[in-house]
Every structure is written in C-alpha cells, then in structure tokens.
Homo-oligomer: A and B are copies of this chain.
Amino acid sequence: MYNFIFQNTTRIYFGENQLGHLGEELKQYGTRVLLTYGGGSIKRISLYDKVMEELKKAGLSVFELSGIEPNPRHTTVNKGAELCKKENIDVLLAVGGGSTIDCTKVIAAATFYEGDSWDLMTHKAPVTKALPVLTVLTLSATGSEMDSGGVISNLDTNEKYGLLHPLLQPKVSFLDPASTYSVSAFQTACGSADILSHVFDVFYFTFAEKMDMIDRVMEEVIKTVVKYAPIAVKGPENYEARANLMWASSWALNGFLQTGVIQAASCHAMEHELSAFYDITHGLGLAILTPRWMEYILDESTAPQFKKFGVHVFGVDAALSDMEGAKRTIACLSDFLFKELGLQSTLTEINIDDTNFKVMAKKACGGDVLQGFKPLTPEDVENIFRMCL
C-alpha cells in the first residue's frame, strides 16, 4: 500500500529571459553540443537565434540535427546517434516540443549502442549509458521536459513504443511560457488534451487505492488545464494561461502524481496504434478516444469515479445518481474537447476508417489483454475504435 520510489532530478529554469543560464549549464557537460529541433518553427519565433547566441557566447562547438518529425522515427534516432559518434558530441540540446525531446533522449542512449536504435525501443538491447540531454521547451503537452521517457515510431512496422530509463531524464529544462505564444489553437488544444490524459488516463481513473493528497492534487492539475486551455486557444499570448499550462504539463507526468498509484494507461496504448498507423497528433487521438472509452467501460463499478471527476472538475450535480452523474461527466468532457477546444470529434473527420482496426486492436493489447481501469480484450478495443468513427 502506497510503496514507491520517487526521484526527479531535472533542474527547471522557468519564465522569461532565463536562457542566459544556458551556456553555463551546457558547459558542465562538455564543449561539443548537438542542437536538435523540428521543422523550423524555432527559427520563425527567433528562438533559434537566441539559443545560438548563448551557445556562441559560451564558446561551444555547435552541430545541428534538424527535421525531427512529430511522432519521431527510429531512422531519425539512428541518424542522430551516428552524428554524435562521428562528431564526438558531449551533450545534446533539444529545442522544441515532446517529439524533439523524445527523439533526442533516445539519440542520447543510442549513441552508446552499435546496432539499430529500434532494438532499444523493443528491449532487444538495454540502455547502458546516455549522453546528457538539456531541453528548451516550445510546447506544453507531453511532459518529456521533466520525465525519463521517450516515444519513438517505426513506420516500417507501424509500431510506436515508449522507452523509460533514468538515464533519459533531462539534466536541465528551460520553460518559457512566451515560447509557446506561436503554438496554433489546434496544437494548443491537442497539447492540453495530452496533459489531461496523462492525469486521468494514466493515474486518476483506477480502482487501486490512491493517497488522498495525490488524488486531490490530480484534480487541481486537471482543473488548471480545463480553465486555461480555452483561454490560450482564444488568446495565444496570454502569459498566465501559457504559464499554467506549461507547468501543468511538467507535473502531470514527472512522477509526483504517480506516487503510490498503479499506472495503467488504456487510452495511451490505444492512441499509440492510431498514430503509429496514421501519424496523427497524439493529443488529438487521445481526445477522440477518451470519451468513447469512458462510455464503453461505464458500469456500476466505474461510474462513481467518473462522476467524482465530473463533480470536481465540471461542476456536475453531486445529487445525481452515480450513473447519471457519470453520463453527464462524459458529455461535459466531450463538450470541452470538441466544442470549447474545437478539436475534431471523430476518426472519420481525420480520414481514418476501419481498415486496420482489427490489427491495431490486437497490437494495443500486446496479443493479450490491455490493462487499465477495466481490462480490455482486442474485441473491446476494436469496438472502442468503431465508436470513434
């Protein structure tokens, strides 16, 4: 009961104008830096120039890996690891969102492995060592800036796996809410759905005994996102909203809310199949799946927890029966995701049909049963996918 180990060593510089510390932090780990980023948005918002200026000021040798994809590929990891070996890189600096950071973390480990990096993702080979990773965050979503995980996709096999290892924990992360001003309404909404899902899919909806304090804090993190996501969607340069979302993204998945809880993430497992097959935005997949998953597993055993969630977060009437309260909660969550945040509400709208549902469902269950608030068979998962059409 409640036994756990907690440690999170990442140093966070939060707020505006903190990049002045970037040089001194990097230099602790060496002089040869690989700067990693995605499609170039960091150039549009001049963050690239600001980072380069700090690196130059610190006298560091800078190499670059650009073009890291959303849903980053194992082939990109391989490319990055090759570069690290060839250029004797000392330290990695990821500037971007969760995809760039995840990819960079796995590059850090793959640098010390001689084969295909996919072997690390499938646990064919263990992580033995990793280069230090620092990050400059530009999207509030995955929590990768303050956790020890990375998710990588293999488009050859339509697989998407997560790797978790203490060596992947970023040494330092820079969180400037203003760096997320240019994030589109769509990506802000997807990121917010991801944060929410980290709390309620991974930790909050469970029959396992939780520590009361943690349950309460989870609800407040959820309420923070529900309050500020619509504000940031409508007013992208609202610092208060961006700041709350950013700090919520880090705390949703940095281990604190996991203390004393048994982790089981049904929606995350199902969504990984969607983005592995169709390369969609993770948060969007989660948003479409979650209310259907809740509806599918709704029964007398799950209703009380769903209702509790609705009462605390959406102000659902506590006097309703568990079942009525749970139904009202699911309706409120759907309204929030699809009306207030404006996300697409069906897979059909994003051009996904049922062609691969059977094989995706089987994969999501790992050939067996998908654990979670309710165990799901491949047939269950297929049914949930169909409800999303």
Please measure, in the bound complex, the distance between the C-alpha atom of A240 and the C-alpha atom of B260, giving whole angstroms: 12
Give residues 1-47 of A contacting B (CB, 8 Å).
1-18
Chain B residues within an 8 Å CB radius of A217: 217, 220-221
Question: Among B213, B227, B228, which residue has its beta carbon within 8 angstroms of that of A247?
Answer: B213
A224-B213 contact in complex given A3-B14, A4-B14, A12-B5, C-beta closer than 8 Å: yes
Partner of A6, one of B11, B214, B216, B223: B11
Does A114 reach chain B (CB closer than 8 Å)? no
Measured CB to CB, the nearest residue on chain B to A214 is: B247
In the complex, which residues 354-379 of chain A have their Cβ closer than 8 Å to any Cβ of chain B? none
Question: Does any Cβ of B come within 8 Å of A139's Cβ?
Answer: no
Instruction: Tell me whether A314 is interfacial, beta carbon within 8 Å.
Output: no
Residues on the B chain within 8 Å of A260, using CB: 14-15, 243, 247
Taking a contact as CB atoms under 8 Å apart, the answer to whether B9 and A5 are in contact is no
* Cα-based distance from A224 to B219 in the complex (angstroms): 14
Contacts A14-B260, A212-B224, A247-B259 given; does A8 touch B5 at CB 8 Å = no
Chain B residues, CB < 8 A from A219: 220
**Which of B3, B11, B256 is within 8 Å of A7, CB to CB?**
B11
Q: Contacts A211-B247, A224-B213, A244-B211; is A5 near B1 (CB within 8 Å)?
A: no
B244/A213 in contact, CB under 8 A = yes
A213: which B residues are within 8 A, CB to CB? 220-221, 224, 244, 247-248, 251
**CB proximity of A227 to chain B, nearest CB, Å:** 7
B6 and A15 contact, CB distance less than 8 A: no
A216/B224 in contact, CB under 8 A: yes
Residue interface mask A201-224, B partner, CB < 8 A = 1 = 000000000011110110111011
Nearest residue in B to A176 (C-beta to C-beta)? B3
Collect the chain B residues with CB atoms within 8 Å of residue A161's CB.
Answer: none
Contacts of A247 in B (CB 8 A): 211, 213-214, 259-260
Considering only residues 331-383 of chain A, those with a C-beta below 8 Å from chain B are none
Q: A216-B220, A217-B217, A220-B216 are in contact. Are A243 and B211 (CB under 8 A)?
A: yes
Please give me the residue from chain B that is nearest to A243 by CB atom: B2
With both beta carbons as reference points, the residue of chain B lying nearest to A218 in the complex is identified as: B220
Q: Which residue of the partner chain B has the closest CB to A219?
A: B220
Choice from B6, B17, B212 contacting A14 with Cβ under 8 Å: B6
A238-274, CB < 8 A from B: 239-240, 243-244, 247-248, 251, 256, 259-260
Which residues of B have CB within 8 Å of A7?
9-12
In the complex, which residues of chain B have a beta carbon less than 8 angstroms from the beta carbon of A227? 212
**In contact, A4 and B15 (Cβ under 8 angstroms):** yes
B residues less than 8 Å from A228 (CB atoms): 212
Cβ contacts under 8 Å, A239 to chain B? 1-2
A-B contact pairs, 27 of them (CB 8 A): A1-B15, A1-B16, A1-B243, A2-B14, A2-B15, A2-B177, A3-B14, A3-B15, A3-B16, A3-B17, A4-B15, A5-B11, A5-B13, A7-B11, A8-B8, A15-B260, A211-B247, A212-B228, A212-B244, A213-B224, A213-B244, A213-B247, A213-B248, A217-B221, A243-B260, A247-B260, A256-B256
Besides A2-B243, A4-B15, 17 more A-B contacts (Cβ < 8 Å) are A1-B239, A1-B243, A2-B14, A2-B15, A3-B18, A4-B14, A6-B11, A6-B14, A8-B8, A15-B260, A211-B243, A212-B227, A213-B221, A216-B220, A217-B221, A220-B220, A247-B260
